[in-house]
Amino acid sequence: LAYLPRNARDLIGRLPEFRKMSLKQLAEFSGSWDPLEMALGVAAINAHYNRFDLQGEMGNGAQAFGREAGRVVVVGAFPGLSEMLPNPQVIENDPRPGEYPTIAMDTLLPGCAAAVVASSTLVNRNLPRILRLAQGSRIALVGPVTPLTPRLHAYGVEILGGLVIRDPKGLGEAIRAGALPREFGRFGQYLHLRREDAAPARPCRLNGR
């Protein structure tokens, strides 16, 4: 999976070319400056790491920051946010009332207690900047696009929460039918990996369960 910054029709004509490439060759597109090629590369990386047999803890892991005494900043809202984090400062590209625009990252991220970052920032290349601004804070990278690899812990990410697909055929059909990302979870399972020196996440009630 990967976040697409624009319609995928520009890639459809290149499918015969892509089918001849190995997963490693596809993953190398993650270094491209073309947004769609970049998305294809991230999807290939996730196909390698987020395997159906991956072992991890249930949920996306953001609930670990639910009792932080200091400010918790969320870059990119996600379903269940209000149940996991009581008073987050939410940054969005198109902010609603009570949320902040992306330019607020320069002000809100430095000195925050924790930051929960949408994994779509991998594709739009905002992640390196976010990690610099939030340096020294607890950081979680969450969302279907998150590569579940401990290698990302070395960049300051404490928690990696991503989606492991159990029913790829069903998901493919749903996407072709217009399914939104919040619906992807029924075709797999959200799991998270914590850095070894990180404290375990506290239990969190979601949707009354």
Sheet architecture: strand order including 159-165? 57-58, 188-194, 159-165, 138-142, 114-118, 72-75, 89-91
List, for residues 178-195, the tens digit of each pLDDT value. Answer: 998 889 999 999 999 999
Give residue 9's pLDDT band: very low, low, confident or very high (50, 70, 90). Answer: confident
Domains and CATH numbers, the chain: 8-50 (no CATH), 57-194 (3.40.50.11590)
- Average pLDDT score over residue span 39-58: 94
CA distances from 66 to 81, 186, 202 (A): 10, 24, 8
pLDDT value for 198: 63
Give residue 199's pLDDT band: very low, low, confident or very high (50, 70, 90). Answer: low
Mean of all residue pLDDT scores within the chain: 90
DSSP letter for 75, please: E
pTM higher than 0.85, yes or no?
A: yes
Between residues 29 and 209, which one has the greater pLDDT?
A: 29
- Average pLDDT score over residue span 124-133: 94
pLDDT value for 204: 36
CA distances from 12 to 18, 20, 40, 106 (A): 10, 14, 12, 37
